[in-house]
Amino acid sequence: MAPPGRRRATPQRRGPRAGRGGGGRSGRLRGGHLAPRRGGGPGAHHPAGHVRLGEAAKYGFIADPVVLSRLEARPDDAVAGDPELLADVVARGVAVKADLVGRDEREGGDRALLNYGHTVGHAIEAASGYDVYLHGEAVALGMVAAARLGERLGISEAGLAQRTVALLDALGLPTGGVRLDPAAVRAALGRDKKAVGGGEAGWRFVLCERPGRARIVEAPSPAAVDAAIASLTAPA
């Protein structure tokens, strides 16, 4: 019994625990759709581990398709942090990076392939003030845009964009339905440090021809670039 003159404290009710698929940071993204919400950006929806898986997938698109096969076969294990699976894909990614850097120490050629997904990804980060999307989330969106751009230009094999969306979605990364200003993203493209000049003529994209093979494309069609960026605001 509480002492005279003092009120008994009323127990506070706890809200539902944030679990898989919930609103907490441990919640997994569903449907690849992500929009900034009050109190936090997309990064608040899932842990950084999911974000790093997008970087691992990048190596599969540009040089080692086995990485994609491993992740596509066991996406839930990858998200759960299966040690054996992650050790395999990370080792393969490290080998790809070491090979590209070893052949091109000054980034005058093939080393630039490591920027796959980063051209639009960096522009999304800049246009959103660097406080809405985690780097890995922006790069995931950049890979989706790059795949769609490649298909529009006839450089990427048919179905690459769909495969990209399916894998990144399974890994809990954003693939579409996001809130962004396409015009602001477009403007940021020309300010990217990888650009080779000002304006549209300086745009430089890494595009995947097919899983395991990519190449650099300079000054692609502005209309095709605009369409690829705008597609990110629609459901994937």
Q: Model confidence at 37, in pLDDT bands (50, 70, 90)?
A: very low
pLDDT in tens, 94-109: 999 999 999 887 766 8
Residue 42 lies in a domain: no
Q: What is the mean pLDDT of residues 123-147?
A: 94
End-to-end CA distance of the chain: 59
Residue 130 lies in a domain: yes
Residue 127 lies in a domain: yes
Residue 35 lies in a domain: no
| Helices 118-127 and 182-189, axial angle in degrees (round to 10) | 120
Q: Which domain holds residue 119?
A: 48-231
Residue 67 lies in a domain: yes
Number of domains into which the chain is organized? 1
Whether pLDDT at 224 is above 70: yes
CATH number at residue 205: 1.20.1090.10
Residue 16 lies in a domain: no
pLDDT in tens, 1-14: 444 444 444 333 33
